[in-house]
């Protein structure tokens, strides 16, 4: 029974809730009891916990079948794959000083994973490493991962991090459990089939510490009944901080698994006293499940914009090449639906017209406005609407290099009756010879990183037909970057197994990421720019301080944004702290790192970024200089560039 339905969220796996059970030879009974109890799947041990390979009498002629939980025939293949997560024996300790235990652990681990693969299980839960050192455990898991087809391995990690002033005496509890996970996944080479199952405890680390995990591959949250409180009516509930964390789990497709002492041999007590008022058997953990379902159902529905962007979440897209390639009709249509963007442009043009033409001159003066990169006409429409609302007269030149868009422009002008107001120019703005100077120059050449679709180069070529006191809309724009944890994006890039993809900047709707520090400005361009020694290449060194209470964190790359001033106080942008609400024309850009960088608390992250210009292309180069040095990415634009 799924937790519930939320509008626009039907793709989410988080509506399914599991339960952790004990070992049983009767898997059909275990599954039937828990599914009828309301749970969607079980996390069940596959092998008798008393089994040890070293205790087996290998001289026996009987062969000795392994003590797995029943035959593979007792459940259908769909039941095994859809309703069972294998729980690997919790006693295994592959880094034990005891050689027999270490050997037994390795043999058992491989036997159980092999059996789980045979059953076509979707995932197996690996026990937490027993200590700070987990090299041999990780080595064995990495060996297994090399031969797995599609099954996921969930490494169980307790969600804990001591405060900086913690004086706890138990060393095992002094560590940041993220460090344990990080050590393990580094030894396993960031394998994309190795994920995390977080054990949610009764106390939680700081909010910033928790945020790190949402850029990591967390697939499950195991919450014990001991972590629940009891409300005035005697029912389980969670603290406000736990509730907020659960909402984040739901939003990040993390499945919830309920665990607790009451699961002990519960399948053998089907006919016990757990009955509701109607005398029907009731699962002993049903009240916990009902509370989790309540938290899920009370979440606000996804906004329309978020529903529209669902399919783009964490999906890497190559940035547009607007000068080299002509946009397709579908691309134009998507951008044209962004009414917020064009309302901002209309506001900017209105303010510029009011500033430029006093009320008493409005009936007699015609403003020359040029839309450079007119596309299919949305900026032309916004400009004419601005003229209408301000009572100013306008003459518009619509300059567009895409001959296919020009066809649509001509149809639009005839349809709207703009023949006496709008002149269509089928030309590259850099090559066009204008018949007169413009009062206002309007463009929408901005990319996700501001200048990455070559707005500076295009407007440099166009500003020659702007009057000396003319206005450019936008008047300036600045790019920003911030370090992020983005395990999924990193693994998606790594899957290509080449240098080219690690040196490419991607447009992506960031979702399962952790933003580790506030973004900082990188490159700024201002228009018009009549300076004699004007250059469009740029270099910036940035220093990021990750808050100490975050703990250590992994930097997989950098998220890039822009903020633009259209005119005076009219802004447009996607930088998180100043982003224009409900605007969807731009997703952030992602600059990956070939080798992720682990940053310790209090240690600054030094980043260098270049915008390089050649005769035929523009490209970015980037690197990390501290705490460790990375190679300079994309030297000479060898992998990624934007053609002039």
Q: Confidence band (pLDDT; 50, 70, 90) for 63?
A: low
Average pLDDT, the chain: 92
CB-based contact 42:257 (threshold 8 Å): no
Other Cβ atoms closer than 10 A to 523: 24
477-643 CATH choice from 3.30.420.60, 2.70.160.11, 3.40.50.720, 3.40.50.620: 2.70.160.11
Q: In this predicted structure, what is the pLDDT of residue 11?
A: 55
Q: Which pLDDT score is estimated for 322? A: 74
| Paired tokens of 587 | 């997703």
Characterise 196 by phi-psi region: left (phi > 0), alpha (psi -120 to 50), beta (else). beta
Is residue 507 classed as helix, strand or coil in its secondary structure? strand
Please check the confidence at residue 368 and state whether its pLDDT lies above 90: yes
Q: Rounded mean pLDDT of 163-170?
A: 50
Residue 534 is labelled as binding a ligand: no
Six-digit token pair at 92?
A: 């295994």
Scanning 195-237, the segments in alpha helix (DSSP H) are: 207-211
Provide the pLDDT for residue 111: 96
Distance CA 416, CA 128 (A): 68
CATH number of 338-444: 3.40.50.150
Count of other CB atoms within 10 angstroms of residue 125: 24
Residue (of 482, 488, 427, 478) closest to 451 by Cα position? 478
Predicted confidence at residue 132, as pLDDT, reads 85
Q: What is the mean pLDDT of residues 439-458?
A: 95
- Distance, C-alpha 98 to centroid of its chain: 42
Q: Is position 332 annotated in a ligand binding site?
A: yes
Residue 444 annotated in active site: yes
Backbone region of residue 189 per phi and psi (left: phi > 0; alpha: psi in -120 to 50; beta: other values):
left
57 — pLDDT class (breaks 50, 70, 90): low
Mind listing the pLDDT tens digit for each residue in 264-306? 445 445 434 345 544 456 899 999 999 999 999 999 888 888 8
The dihedral through the CA atoms of 88, 90, 95, 100 has a sign that is negative
Is 50 exceeded by the pLDDT of residue 166? Answer: no
Rounded mean pLDDT of 327-346?
93
Distance, in Å, from the CA atom of 599 to the CA atom of 605, rounded to the nearest integer, reads 7
Helix axes 339-356, 378-390, angle to 10 degrees: 40
Residue 341 known to bind ligand: yes
Q: Which of 20, 160, 444, 503 is catalytic?
A: 444
Q: Does domain 17-53+68-301 have CATH number 3.30.70.20?
A: no
DSSP 127: P
Q: Give the phi and the psi of residue 236 in degrees, each rounded to 5.
A: -70, 150
Q: H or E element: which one contains 44?
A: strand 41-45
Higher pLDDT, 196 or 12: 196
pLDDT tens-digit map of 118-138: 999 999 999 999 988 899 999
pLDDT band for position 327 (cuts 50, 70, 90) = confident
Distance CA 490, CA 559 (A): 12
Instruction: Calculate what percentage of the chain has a pLDDT beyond 90.
Output: 83
Q: Angle, nearest 10°, between helix axes 240-251 and 286-297?
A: 70
CB 573 within 8 A of CB 199: no
User: Is the distance from CB of 527 to CB of 461 less than 8 angstroms?
Assistant: no
Q: From the candidates 453, 503, 575, 621, give the one annotated as an active-site residue.
A: 453
- Contacts of 101-106 with C-beta under 8 Å, sequence gap 24+, read 102/136, 103/53, 103/54, 104/52, 104/53, 104/54, 106/136, 106/140
Task: Note whether 603 and 463 are within 8 A (CB).
Answer: no
436 appears as a binding residue in the annotation: no
- At 207-217, the pLDDT tens digits run 999 999 999 99
| Distance of alpha carbon 213 from alpha carbon 51, whole angstroms | 35
Task: Return the domain boundaries, the chain.
Answer: 17-53+68-301, 338-444, 477-643
621 assigned to active site: no
Token pair of 494 as six digits: 């790594």
**Which of 318-322, 394-398, 487-491 bottoms out in mean pLDDT, i.e. has the lowest?**
318-322
342 labeled part of a ligand binding site: yes
Q: Is 337 annotated as a binding residue?
A: no
196-210, 260-274, 499-513: segment of lowest average pLDDT: 260-274
Report the C-alpha gap between 284 and 273 in whole angstroms.
10
């Amino acid at each position: 029974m799924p937790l519930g339905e939320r509008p626009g969220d039907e793709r989410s796996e988080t509506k399914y809730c599991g339960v952790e059970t004990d070992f049983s030879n009767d898997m059909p009974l275990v599954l039937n009891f828990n599914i009828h109890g309301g749970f969607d799947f079980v996390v069940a041990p596959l092998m008798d916990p008393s089994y040890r390979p070293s205790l087996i009498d290998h001289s026996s002629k009987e062969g000795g079948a392994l003590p797995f939980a029943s035959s593979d025939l007792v459940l259908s293949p769909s039941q095994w794959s859809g309703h069972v997560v294998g729980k690997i024996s919790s006693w295994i300790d592959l880094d034990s000083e005891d050689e027999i235990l270490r050997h037994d652990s390795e043999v058992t681990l491989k036997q159980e994973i092999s059996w789980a693969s045979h059953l076509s299980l979707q995932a197996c839960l690996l026990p937490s490493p027993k200590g700070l050192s987990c090299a041999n455990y990780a080595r064995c898991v990495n060996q297994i991962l090399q031969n797995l087809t599609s099954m996921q391995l969930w490494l169980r990690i307790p969600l804990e991090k001591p405060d900086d002033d913690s004086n706890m005496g138990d060393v095992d509890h002094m560590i940041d459990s993220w460090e344990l996970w990080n050590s393990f996944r580094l030894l396993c080479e960031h394998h994309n089939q190795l994920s995390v199952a977080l054990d949610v405890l009764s106390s939680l680390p700081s909010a910033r510490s928790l945020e790190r995990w949402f850029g990591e591959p967390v697939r499950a949250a195991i919450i014990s009944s001991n972590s629940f409180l009891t409300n005035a009516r005697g029912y389980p509930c969670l603290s406000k901080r736990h509730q907020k964390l659960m909402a984040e789990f739901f939003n990040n497709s993390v499945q919830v698994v309920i665990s607790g002492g009451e699961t002990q041999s519960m399948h053998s007590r089907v006919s016990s006293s757990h009955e509701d008022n109607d005398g029907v058997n009731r699962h002993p953990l049903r009240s916990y499940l009902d509370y989790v379902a309540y938290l899920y159902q009370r979440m606000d529905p996804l906004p329309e914009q978020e529903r529209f962007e669902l399919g783009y979440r964490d999906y890497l897209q190559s940035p547009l090449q607007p000068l080299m390639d002509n946009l397709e009709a579908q691309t134009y249509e998507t951008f044209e639906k962004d009414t917020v963007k064009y309302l901002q442009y209309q506001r900017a043009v209105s303010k510029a017209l009011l500033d430029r033409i006093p009320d008493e001159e409005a009936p007699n003066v015609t403003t020359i406005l040029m839309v450079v990169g007119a596309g299919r006409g949305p900026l032309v429409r916004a400009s004419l609407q601005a003229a209408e609302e301000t009572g100013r007269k306008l003459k518009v030149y619509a300059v567009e290099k895409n001959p296919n868009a020009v066809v649509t422009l001509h149809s639009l002008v005839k349809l709207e009756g703009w023949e006496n107001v709008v002149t269509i120019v089928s030309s590259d703005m850099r090559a066009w010879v204008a018949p007169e100077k413009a009062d206002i120059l309007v463009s929408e050449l901005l990319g996700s990183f501001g200048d990455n679709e070559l707005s500076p180069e295009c407007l440099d070529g166009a500003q020659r037909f702007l009057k000396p006191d003319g206005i450019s809309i936008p008047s300036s724009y600045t790019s920003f970057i911030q370090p992020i944890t983005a395990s999924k994006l990193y693994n998606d890039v790594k899957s290509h197994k080449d240098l080219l993809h690690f040196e490419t900047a991607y447009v992506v709707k960031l979702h399962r990421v952790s933003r580790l520090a506030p973004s900082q400005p990188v490159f700024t361009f201002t228009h018009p720019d009549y300076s004699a020694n004007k250059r469009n290449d740029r270099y910036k060194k940035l220093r990021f301080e990750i808050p100490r209470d975050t703990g250590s964190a992994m930097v997989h790359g950098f998220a890039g944004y822009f903020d633009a001033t259209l005119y005076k106080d009219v802004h447009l942008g996607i930088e998180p702290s100043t982003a224009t609400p409900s605007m969807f024309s731009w997703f952030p850009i992602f600059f990956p790192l070939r080798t992720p960088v682990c940053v310790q608390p209090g240690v600054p992250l030094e980043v260098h970024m270049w915008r390089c210009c050649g005769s035929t292309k523009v490209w970015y180069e980037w690197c990390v200089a501290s705490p460790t040095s990375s190679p300079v990415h994309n030297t000479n634009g060898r992998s990624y560039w934007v053609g002039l």
